[in-house]
Amino acid sequence: MNINHKQEQLIDEFLAKVKDKYPEIILKNLSTSPDDPDHIWINVIADMDEDREMELLHFSALIEADIDYDFGYRISIMPENPNVVYS
């Protein structure tokens, strides 16, 4: 995955804002969406309950929209919750 300097800066700022509000998240890695190679995913481990995870998604969506509108880059937080049990 190739990211430019501005994308790197936006990713760092985005992650810092989210981590400030949700300090329990841990950066796992960066990847791209399988559907859109220009869409950068910030994969994080989010050890939290479902309500808090929904708050995280809502909070990060607002930042994602600002980045897309202001700079034209699609960057998203993608939480992975180790507590989720799939049935």
Domain presence at residue 50: yes
Q: What is the pLDDT of residues 53-79, one digit of tens each?
A: 999 999 999 999 999 999 999 999 999
Domain presence at residue 87: no
Q: What are the Cα distances from residue 49, in Å, to 1, 9, 25, 28? A: 31, 30, 12, 19
Contact at 8 Å (CB) between 76 and 35? Answer: no
Q: What is the pLDDT of residues 31-57, one digit of tens each?
A: 999 999 999 999 999 999 889 999 999
> In this structure, how many other beta carbons lie within 10 angstroms of the beta carbon of residue 25?
22
Who's near 6: CB < 8 A, 6+ residues apart? 71, 73
The pLDDT-based confidence of 86 (bands split at 50, 70, 90) is low
Domain presence at residue 54: yes
Domain presence at residue 29: yes
CA–CA separation, 27 vs 29, rounded Å?
A: 6
Task: Evaluate if residue 84 carries a pLDDT over 90.
Answer: no
- CATH code of residue 31: 3.30.300
Domain presence at residue 48: yes
Domain presence at residue 86: no
Question: Quick one: pLDDT at residue 30?
Answer: 97
Domain presence at residue 85: no
Question: Quick one: pLDDT at residue 87?
Answer: 58
**Bigger pLDDT: 50 vs 29:** 29
How many domains, the chain?
A: 1
- Note down the domain range covering 28: 5-80
